[in-house]
Structure 1
Amino acid sequence: MGMEIPDPISIESVGTWSDEVDVVVIGAGMAGVSAALEARASGASVLVLDSGGRLTCTSAMAGGHFYLGGGTEVQQATGWDDSPEAMADYLGLMSPECDPAKISAYAEDGVEHFRWLESLGFEFNRSFYPEKAVVQPGVEGLSFTGNEKCLDVAEVVKPTPRGHKVPVPGDTGGAGLVVGLALDKLDALGVEVRWETGATAMVVDGDQVVGVTWKNYDHTGAIRARSVIVAAGGFVLNRAMLEEHAPDLLAVESNGMALGNTHDDGLGIRMGQSVGGVADYLDKVFVTGPFYPPGEALRGIVVNKLGKRFVNEDSYHSRTSAFVFEQPDREGYLILDSATMVQPSYRFQPLVDGWDTIEEMEQGLGIPAGALAETMAAYDEAAARGEDPEFHKAPEYLVPLDQGPWGAYDLTPGKCFYAGFSCGGLRVTVDGQLLRADGSVVRGVYAAGACASNIAVDGKGYASGIQLGEASYFGRRAGRRATAEVAQR
């Protein structure tokens, strides 16, 4: 794996075609299966290629949150009012770099997309999980999975939960259920998914994409297609691309993991670039080392090596982590006193030590003398009033940290366990059409999922469920548009 962009193949150099279809989809993850289902439902003949095996996609590793809103049946059943406008306002606040048209479409179609997901053969549980969690431990269907309740956000947009979890207990497996149901439906519709078969290059006729070449072990060939949909994942497993674009993800190597599969090598992005497409936000990443649950851990404060706070501690875990990565030497510590001391449930953060005095804690952490004491004195004074004027942490987590002894958990990458994935991808329209730098459309090719840039721009604005939600939603839009283009020819 490297930075090489595969040269497109001229149609004149293709001697024979192994297959001829209306739409070929590259990748059988959440975006790919959604695109294939929609294309087939729109009347197209469809073939799906996947470099791995069934359910080896990154989607299948996820916990199964879909970020959905606008008044879904789960929101209604659990007493939460929502509207497309409110959902769009929140997403726009969290991802100001995102195309407003994409946010608007995603929010407007939230209820319809919720129903489409359930039509695959499962139901979200009509129940609400109120606690602060990375993934609710049971099968509760709805929870807060972003920064909705943070006061600096809640002052602008009314807090509303939109994290819809597939009814599979635990941290993983929910999305695998959905992808599996989609694959079953493709099979029932007569759509072939060709496993362990990777696309290798685009086939072009002038400035138009008309197919792809492929490889399966020692076999190679070319598929002629009226439309190609690239849904081949991100680049978190491509070291050369990480070194060039997203070095923050290399910082988790010594104590962490890439959230991806071996085929998240950026080839889909590079294939899009080979025919004139451009990629956005390749430097943006999602990194996380959550210190909650339990939610009680949020009663502590997070400081850097200078003893200064830099984030409201009740932020979504990837937002807090993103700010840690921006601190001097990427050092961060969660400080708790004897009254608030708890152990993070995932045990990603090592306990540095305990100290009888704040002065001893400053020495133990290498913080300048008096700096942490000043930070804690100001915090404690405001917390006693139920206020946090500096970072606006919610009152439910505000208590003075004045009951010694004190302890600190290390949030520093390399010492704390972090996981992460790439966020950037190919520039596309709201319907997945690949765009050149001048804004023109590359005919015959689309992109969706982790190899496209839609809503999940970076970890600061992320909420659990956005990636699966946008992959399935924009995958469907790409499938419909690709089929419509076929019909126009």
Structure 2
Amino acid sequence: MSNDKRRRNILKGVAATAALELLPEAKAGNTGAAIPATTPRIIAEGSVPRWDGETEVLVIGLGCAGAAAAIEAARAGAHTLVLEWTSGGGGTSAMSGGNFYFGGGTPVQRANGFEDNAEEMFKYLAASTGIAPDLEKIRLYCDGSLEHFQWVSALGVPFKHSYWQHNFEPWTDDCLWYSGSEKTHPYNTLARPAPRGHKPEIEGSSTGGRLLMEKMQQALLVAGAERVMDARCVALIKSARGRVVGCAAKIAGELRHYRARRGVILTTGGFIYNPVMVARYAPQARPLPPLGCGTDDGSGIQLGQAAGGECINMNAIAYTCPVLMPLKFIKGILVNEHGQRFINEDVNHKRIGEFAVLHENSRMYLIVDNNIYDKPRFPGVRLVAAAETIEELEIELGLPQFCLQDTVETYNFHAAQGRDPLFGKQAEHLKPLDKGPYAAFDCGLAGGAPYSAFTLGGLHTRPSGEVLDMDGCPIPGLYAAGRATSCLSAQSCGTSGIQIGEGTFFGRLAGRSAAKNSVDSTHPLR
């Protein structure tokens, strides 16, 4: 795809999402139903003309978090109803690789000879999820990882007892891989490394999510939960006492009201497809193509805010940037527009993307010599310069004089000794760049490199799912899980598998909490 065509496609997606937020009417899901922009996000219970449906636990959204919440609520004995905006459900979860971040000594880890425990997993996640991680949630997630692996496996999701020796998602049916930066500096000095990425047993990349959602939806129906598809939730309903008691949803052009006697759970995804929210909370992500699906429009977050919920870490974004493929490219060096290294090249590609966007104006080059030159896997990584010497390459790239030369000279001196004292790249990826000719690939956003972004911030919740207000108090009857919340990754995300892992794990907790909540007995359940 040409760069101009790629930009046009991105702009089309932005324009479509902007219309959803700003125009007087917008399309709802696949139904074509008009949603007036003037529909209030909170409706007083006393103004509800009739209840079109009643349940005990009402789940809004059918991605992995919503499915997990519904399964657990139904298994706990609560009558459970799921409202889903689209016709099939699955959301971004179904588009993903379906990777889980499991640890603590799973059967797959043990079968491949890797030792792990919850404490080492906790130390890694506490260090790698930003400057203000939720340590209580991380502790629960790590301590519960083995049980959660068994829960997912019991749904019928298969995990092959095999190890993939690369730092990117398997495109075979292999399972275990280093999905984060566990082996790299500085994390390998803070926690004992272990591979914790678990991909479902299915051939191909970005295929496991579809299998996962098929199994989860089957389990949801077996558990007795019900679904209403093509139903877009547009408002929450509050009682006079401030309790969330249901929602209003647009179905086939009509506004219908659903009562929830125990609780409403928001599992509607993030807001990367809402350009207004991105511009307001995370403007640094505006130039990047969104990663997810169009239903990640922030609507659930906005509903929670309208009900009094606090949002946290709304500026937190995950930046994907898989430019170092094939694997031999890790032996090259990434430099900024000044010809200087800024990161150890063996870290997870999300960490590279984060540094590039936040600190290097999304501009960087990959420098290789003739020994490691190869064709990039992604066409957006373009060859932009080639020369017999580093000095000539520096001139061809228009970099400041001597900067790239000094960078390569320093790197080569230490690499020859198997060391990288500046950034700590592992010895297995160190090799002097001393065999000309030399080449430079443009790995910058403007050049068309494969960047993308998704949001990490959202509603502030307890680990058990209750949505909290500005004072840290739970809003009665309101729960949330998944990307509609701020969960483990507080300011950064250098690890794959966290989103599916935390979405299902905390979705389960939210489902159980809502099922145990006291019944609002204002009206009997029909």
Q: TM-score, normalised by structure 1?
A: 0.96
What aligned pairs does 1:154-169 form with structure 2 within 5 A after superposition?
154-169=188-203
What aligned pairs does 1:238-253 form with structure 2 within 5 A after superposition?
238-252=274-288
Report the Cα offset of residue 260 of structure 1. Answer: 1.4
In 2, the alpha carbon distance for the partners of 1:281 and 1:131 equals 31
Alignment pair present for 1:308 and 2:316? no
Whether the aligned pair in 1 keeps the contact of 2:90 and 2:210 (CA below 8 Å) is: no
In 1, the alpha carbon distance for the partners of 2:126 and 2:371 equals 38
Report the Cα offset of residue 249 of structure 1. Answer: 2.6
Alignment pair present for 1:482 and 2:514? yes
Alignment pair present for 1:189 and 2:208? no
In 2, the alpha carbon distance for the partners of 1:88 and 1:94 equals 10
- What is residue 34 of structure 2 aligned with on the other side? none
Q: Which moved more, 1:120-129 or 1:186-195?
A: 186-195
In 2, the alpha carbon distance for the partners of 1:218 and 1:488 equals 29
Alignment pair present for 1:439 and 2:472? yes
Report the Cα offset of residue 328 of structure 1. Answer: 4.4
- What is residue 115 of structure 1 aligned with on the other side? 150
- The superposition leaves residues 432-452 of structure 1 with CA deviations (integer Å, 9 ceiling, x where unpaired) of 110111111111001101111
Amino acid at match of 2:121: M
Q: Which moved more, 1:258-267 or 1:270-279?
A: 258-267
Alignment pair present for 1:451 and 2:487? no
What aligned pairs does 1:67-106 form with structure 2 within 5 A after superposition?
67-95=101-129, 96-106=131-141
> Which consecutive residues of structure 1, in runs of 5 or more, have no partner in the other structure?
none
Amino acid at match of 2:243: Q
Alignment pair present for 1:468 and 2:500? yes
In 2, the alpha carbon distance for the partners of 1:43 and 1:207 equals 26
- What is residue 389 of structure 1 aligned with on the other side? 421
- What is residue 277 of structure 1 aligned with on the other side? 309
- The superposition leaves residues 168-197 of structure 1 with CA deviations (integer Å, 9 ceiling, x where unpaired) of 111112011111111112222332211110
- What is residue 33 of structure 1 aligned with on the other side? 67
In 2, the alpha carbon distance for the partners of 1:342 and 1:314 equals 17
- The superposition leaves residues 324-365 of structure 1 with CA deviations (integer Å, 9 ceiling, x where unpaired) of 113444311111011121223233311112112222222222
What aligned pairs does 1:75-474 form with structure 2 within 5 A after superposition?
75-95=109-129, 96-132=131-167, 134-205=168-239, 206-225=241-260, 226-252=262-288, 257-415=289-447, 416-459=449-492, 461-474=493-506
Whether the aligned pair in 2 keeps the contact of 1:124 and 1:166 (CA below 8 Å) is: yes
SS at match of 1:91: helix
RMSD over aligned Cα atoms:
1.6
Report the Cα offset of residue 488 of structure 1. Answer: 9.2
In 2, the alpha carbon distance for the partners of 1:347 and 1:123 equals 33
- The superposition leaves residues 399-451 of structure 1 with CA deviations (integer Å, 9 ceiling, x where unpaired) of 11111111111111121121221111111011111011111111100110111
SS at match of 1:319: helix
SS at match of 1:151: coil
SS at match of 2:319: strand
In 2, the alpha carbon distance for the partners of 1:123 and 1:62 equals 16
Whether the aligned pair in 2 keeps the contact of 1:128 and 1:143 (CA below 8 Å) is: yes
SS at match of 1:344: coil
Report the Cα offset of residue 6 of structure 1. Answer: 4.3
In 1, the alpha carbon distance for the partners of 2:422 and 2:87 equals 50
In 2, the alpha carbon distance for the partners of 1:347 and 1:144 equals 25
In 2, the alpha carbon distance for the partners of 1:333 and 1:286 equals 21
SS at match of 2:358: coil
In 2, the alpha carbon distance for the partners of 1:326 and 1:364 equals 26
Count of paired positions: 483
- The superposition leaves residues 46-102 of structure 1 with CA deviations (integer Å, 9 ceiling, x where unpaired) of 000011121451100001210011111111111111111111111001124221110
Whether the aligned pair in 1 keeps the contact of 2:284 and 2:358 (CA below 8 Å) is: no
Amino acid at match of 1:84: A
In 2, the alpha carbon distance for the partners of 1:324 and 1:313 equals 12
Percent sequence identity is 37
Whether the aligned pair in 2 keeps the contact of 1:66 and 1:163 (CA below 8 Å) is: yes
In 2, the alpha carbon distance for the partners of 1:195 and 1:419 equals 29
- The superposition leaves residues 433-480 of structure 1 with CA deviations (integer Å, 9 ceiling, x where unpaired) of 101111111110011011111113344x43110000000000000000
In 2, the alpha carbon distance for the partners of 1:168 and 1:247 equals 37
Amino acid at match of 2:382: P
Alignment pair present for 1:59 and 2:78? no
Amino acid at match of 1:228: V
Whether the aligned pair in 1 keeps the contact of 2:185 and 2:344 (CA below 8 Å) is: no
In 1, the alpha carbon distance for the partners of 2:77 and 2:444 equals 52
Q: TM-score, normalised by structure 2?
A: 0.89
- Name the CA shift for 1:326/1:122 in 2 (closer, same or farther; >3 Å): closer
Amino acid at match of 2:473: S
SS at match of 1:453: coil
- The superposition leaves residues 289-310 of structure 1 with CA deviations (integer Å, 9 ceiling, x where unpaired) of 2123322110000110111111
Report the Cα offset of residue 486 of structure 1. Answer: 3.5
Report the Cα offset of residue 219 of structure 1. Answer: 1.7
